[in-house]
């Protein structure tokens, strides 16, 4: 008598057993939830608004063209990560890939580097929380941006996020899905409103370089893409690079998807 077809859950368990690994985490995330987690970690809005000054100061309006270059390069990286994640759908992503492809030594270094990077990234994002709070509640004194207040707000934010994660992946998924939907709708809506009703410059403005000083609005914008502009353009690349990364998070939750 033929054996009945295995369920997707059983197939996933069998796949993990090929690596000598017994599944321990529950698969509670769907495709969209996994995408939402990766998208929120990239956090396009947070990176764009907090680092816009870096790109504008370094490369002027022409730093806009760093985005397609960085996006294209990172897309190739993402394709590699997607292939690795499909072969090794185990919690840990980059750590697991390095350990299983190159051995325990490289995996050890990769794991610690990845851990430190995660701590620094989460902390850096938490430090930006007072900025939108000041915009949402204009009556709050500007001293909220002081160092002590910023550290306190960041600490409270990290504690709240930690408690939500401890409560379970399902709760994280629900909150995250709502946040990502609001972010995508808000970003596209905000961009459309600015494009249609608050467009103050011609398209040619995107080919101009930085001002001599952004502190003096009267200064003229310098020409972009000249011989001496290469260094400024390369520096402006970092604004885009600091935003478009973290998509490996989807692989980190591979065992729970």
Q: Per-residue pLDDT tens for 20-48?
A: 677 766 777 777 888 888 888 888 888 88
44-59 and 230-243 are packed helices; what angle lies between their axes, rounded to 10 degrees?
170
The confidence band for 155, taking pLDDT boundaries of 50, 70 and 90, is very high
The confidence band for 215, taking pLDDT boundaries of 50, 70 and 90, is very low
Residue with tokens 């859950």: 9
**pLDDT for residue 212 is more than 60:** no
Specify the pLDDT at position 2.
45
Cα–Cα separations (whole angstroms), residue 75 to 5, 67, 68, 131, 172: 36, 12, 10, 30, 26
**pLDDT for residue 4 is more than 70:** no
The confidence band for 7, taking pLDDT boundaries of 50, 70 and 90, is low
Q: What is the pTM of this model?
A: 0.74
Of 36-45, 92-101, 151-160, 219-228, least confident by mean pLDDT is 219-228
The confidence band for 156, taking pLDDT boundaries of 50, 70 and 90, is very high
Distance CA 222, CA 229 (A): 9
CB 14 within 8 A of CB 253: no
2: left (phi over 0), alpha (psi -120 to 50) or beta: beta
CB 172 within 8 A of CB 164: yes
Specify the pLDDT at position 67.
92
Q: How many helices (H) and strands (E) does the chain have?
A: 11, 2
Residue with tokens 């764009």: 48
For residue 207 the two structure tokens come to: 């080919």
Q: What percent of the chain has pLDDT over 90?
A: 8
Q: What percent of the chain has pLDDT over 70?
A: 84
Average pLDDT over all residues of the chain: 80
Average pLDDT for 64-90: 88
Distance CA 224, CA 231 (A): 11
Specify the pLDDT at position 87.
81
């Amino acid at each position: 008598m033929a054996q009945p077809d295995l369920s997707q859950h059983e197939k996933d368990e069998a796949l993990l057993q090929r690596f000598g690994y017994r599944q321990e985490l529950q698969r509670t995330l769907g495709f969209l939830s996994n995408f939402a987690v990766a998208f929120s970690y990239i956090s396009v809005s947070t990176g764009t608004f907090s680092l816009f000054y870096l790109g504008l100061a370094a490369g002027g309006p022409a730093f806009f063209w760093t985005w397609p270059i960085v996006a294209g390069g990172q897309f190739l990286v993402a394709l590699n990560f997607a292939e690795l994640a499909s072969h090794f759908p185990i919690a840990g992503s980059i750590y697991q890939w390095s350990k299983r492809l190159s051995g325990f030594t490289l995996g050890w270094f990769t794991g610690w580097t990845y851990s430190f990077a995660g701590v620094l990234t989460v902390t850096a994002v938490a430090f930006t929380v007072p900025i939108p709070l000041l915009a949402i509640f204009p009556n709050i004194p500007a001293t909220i941006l002081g160092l002590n207040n910023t550290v306190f707000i960041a600490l409270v934010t990290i504690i709240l996020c930690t408690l939500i994660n401890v409560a379970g992946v399902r709760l994280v998924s629900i909150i995250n899905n709502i946040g990502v939907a609001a972010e995508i709708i808000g970003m596209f809506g905000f961009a459309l409103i600015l494009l249609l009703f608050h467009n103050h410059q011609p398209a040619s403005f995107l080919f101009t370089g930085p001002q001599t000083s952004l502190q003096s609005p009267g200064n003229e914008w310098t020409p972009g893409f000249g011989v001496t502009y290469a260094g400024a353009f390369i520096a402006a690349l970092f604004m885009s690079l600091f935003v478009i990364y973290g998509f490996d998070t989807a692989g980190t939750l591979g065992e729970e998807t």
